[in-house]
Amino acid sequence: WYWNRYPGVRCDIESYIYMPLLEEVGTVPTEKYAGGPEIFEHARAIGRHYHLYSRALLGTTVTAVAWNEERSRWTVTTNRGDVLHARFMTVGTGPLSRAKLPGIKGIETFRGKQFHSSRWDYEVTGGDWNGNLDKLADKRVALVGTGASSIQILPHLAASALHVYLFQRTPATVNARNNRATDPEWFRSLEPGWQQKRMDNFVEVLAGLPVEADLVDDAATEMGRRLSAALHGSDGVPDFALLQTIDFQKMEELRNRVSEIVEDPITAKALQPWFDYFCKRPLFSDDYYPAFNRDNVTLVDTDGRGVDHITERGLVVDGTEYEVDLIVYGTGFDAGAYTYEAGGYELTGRGGVSLAEHWRSGMRSLHGMMTSRFPNLFLLGGIEQAATSINNPHVVSRQATHVATLIARYLREDVTAAEVTPEAEQRWADELARVHIDNSGYESECTPSYYNNEGNRDDPRPTVTGGQYGRGPIGYISVIQDWLVNDVDRDITVTRG
């Protein structure tokens, strides 16, 4: 949220569950779906509340991390010449931290301005988060991509630029957002512990579990309620035929929504998503489709291929060159990178073996957070061999609590090295295999996206829909909580001071 400051940026998971530590910090979101500046300010409020600004090295890049066997410490070097020694280390770079530019031939030859959406340059566009991009009044702009960033950016570009070309590889799945202001009286009426209860309720509804009430009650949970009966059939086995029927009905509604809003029938047809609902990240906007009714907005549908190549003057699709002054890449992030890889440094464990070498034949871990030969190391926020929710802070916060509990215990007991055993890794691998849900058939019918590693399902790298704990975030949280009580001493080898 420091980097993502493009015009229109906001969360599409409701603020009351997306913004962590609201009760602890005392922040009151102004809207159900807060804007980027408000979320960024809350992140800063967390830093102030927990005195992190005096304890952190901000604006600093880690260059290498290595385990020092003699000292039983991690040695961390940085681009500022620091050499740090730590007993315990957590890596929380996250799966959506490294911006991804498209591999379009000729991208380096363009002579106009160009930037990624997460590196928005207001010196070029003018305006601010609210839009009013006054420096684009006489400029032709290309927006590449139809993901979460682009559908928020397009309406502001359309309102300010001379002309906007949106280059679409595949159409987005866009639900209505229906944002609204927070009712102060309602917020004051919430009882202590309300946020965790609401976060848990959200994933329970998405999993189709019976709940007394849908506390979030929006377009995201509405689909969970629809799928409930099909996910939990009378014999406990999902009814896949019914799931497909419900999916199709939902997609028909979304396709009809496009036709009802977009006036030009050819453009409307190209904007209709033809795939299943969970093939791509479902999106939410009330302003995206209306933008195509403006005379200065042109949809360039590439029929699944993407832009052919870029020249000095513009972008080429099917032999037609679209000359522009500015290119904005709304092409997302390298979601398939392992958590440590996103940091851009080498991580070396016992015997000088790097984590990349250790996992050369496939990832080995316990709960996706610890791995043998790398004592006192914890990986947080990754999607691989753990679980994820579309409300990412939910699982991450539970992982953080889990790791903090372990570290506190090891500090009390004067543990110098705590390392997961290979046997524990094998047990977790067996459990992952036992509860694995085979999505290959579903994914084979999907358009390429970061959900399925751009359609390359045989690649061993993790994807959003593969390599996770098959029972989802609720099951995963239950497993790690039970493990802390019953199996931690069995699975971790410790050395004391």
User: For position 51, what pLDDT does the model report?
Assistant: 97
Task: Please tell me what DSSP assigns to residue 31.
Answer: B
Q: Which helix (H) or strand (E) holds 117?
A: none
> Do 292 and 384 belong to one domain?
no
Calculate the alpha carbon distances from 177 to 10, 299, 431 in Å.
11, 22, 38
Q: Are 433 and 403 in contact (CB under 8 A)?
A: no
Rounded-to-integer distance, Cα 469 and Cα 365, Å: 12
> Do 303 and 372 belong to one domain?
no
Q: State which residues form the domain around 463.
A: 90-98+361-496
> Do 324 and 467 belong to one domain?
no
> Do 300 and 397 belong to one domain?
no
Q: For tokens 């699975």, what's the residue?
A: 491
The tokens of 122 are what? 């207001």
Beta strands in 294-351 (DSSP E): 297-301, 309-310, 314-317, 320-323, 326-329, 346-348
> Do 272 and 404 belong to one domain?
no
End-to-end Cα, the chain, rounded Å: 41
52 within some domain: no
Q: Which helix (H) or strand (E) holds 274?
A: none
Domain total in the chain: 2
Partners of 168 in the β-ladder? 301
User: For position 232, what pLDDT does the model report?
Assistant: 78
User: For position 443, what pLDDT does the model report?
Assistant: 73
191 within some domain: no
154 within some domain: yes
The tokens of 454 are what? 């751009």
Query: Residue 86's CB: how many other CB atoms inside 10 A?
Result: 12
User: For position 96, what pLDDT does the model report?
Assistant: 77
**Closest C-alpha among 93, 97, 131 to residue 332:** 97
User: For position 341, what pLDDT does the model report?
Assistant: 74
Q: Are 171 and 271 in contact (CB under 8 A)?
A: yes
> Do 388 and 436 belong to one domain?
yes
Alpha-helix residue ranges (DSSP H) falling in 7-147: 15-18, 22-25, 36-49, 122-125
- Signed CA dihedral, 370, 375, 376, 379: sign only: negative
219 within some domain: no
User: For position 437, what pLDDT does the model report?
Assistant: 80
The tokens of 403 are what? 């790791």
Query: What pTM, to 2 d.p., does this model score?
Result: 0.92
> Do 394 and 301 belong to one domain?
no
Single-letter code of the amino acid located at 216: V
> Do 428 and 490 belong to one domain?
yes
Per-residue pLDDT of the chain in tens (497 residues, 90 and over written 9): 999 999 999 999 999 999 999 999 999 999 999 999 999 999 999 999 999 999 999 999 999 999 999 999 999 999 999 999 999 999 988 777 789 999 999 999 999 999 999 999 999 999 999 999 999 999 999 999 999 999 999 999 999 999 999 999 999 999 999 999 999 999 999 999 999 999 999 999 998 888 999 999 999 999 999 988 888 766 667 888 899 999 999 999 999 999 999 999 999 999 999 999 999 999 999 999 999 999 999 999 999 999 999 999 999 999 999 999 999 999 998 876 776 676 788 999 999 999 999 998 889 999 999 999 999 999 998 778 999 889 989 999 999 999 999 999 999 999 999 999 999 999 999 999 999 887 777 777 787 776 666 766 566 554 544 578 989 999 999 999 999 999 999 999 999 97
289 within some domain: yes
Calculate ∠ Cα 215-220-222, nearest 5°: 70
Q: Which helix (H) or strand (E) holds 119?
A: none
User: For position 109, what pLDDT does the model report?
Assistant: 98
Partners of 74 in the β-ladder? 67, 86
Percent of residues in the chain assigned helix, strand, coil, to nearest 5: 40, 20, 45
User: For position 236, what pLDDT does the model report?
Assistant: 66
> Do 125 and 94 belong to one domain?
no
> Do 166 and 294 belong to one domain?
yes
Report CA dihedral (388, 394, 395, 396) to the nearest 10 degrees. Answer: 110
Task: Please tell me what DSSP assigns to residue 447.
Answer: P
> Do 128 and 252 belong to one domain?
yes
Q: Which residues of 210-220 are buried (b: 16+ CB within 10 A; e: fewer)?
A: ebeeebbebbb
User: For position 453, what pLDDT does the model report?
Assistant: 66
Residue count (the chain): 497
We report the CATH number of the domain holding residue 286 as 3.50.50.60
Question: Which of 329, 353, 376 is the endpoint of a domain?
Answer: 329
Q: Are 491 and 483 in contact (CB under 8 A)?
A: yes
421 within some domain: yes
465 within some domain: yes
> Do 403 and 437 belong to one domain?
yes
Query: Residue 82's CB: how many other CB atoms inside 10 A?
Result: 12
Question: Which of 280, 307, 329 is the endpoint of a domain?
Answer: 329
18 within some domain: no
The tokens of 248 are what? 């199709």
Q: For tokens 């009378």, what's the residue?
A: 234
Q: Is 190 helix (H, G, I), strand (E, B) or coil?
A: coil
Single-letter code of the amino acid located at 492: I
Q: Is 63 helix (H, G, I), strand (E, B) or coil?
A: strand
Q: Are 106 and 317 in contact (CB under 8 A)?
A: no
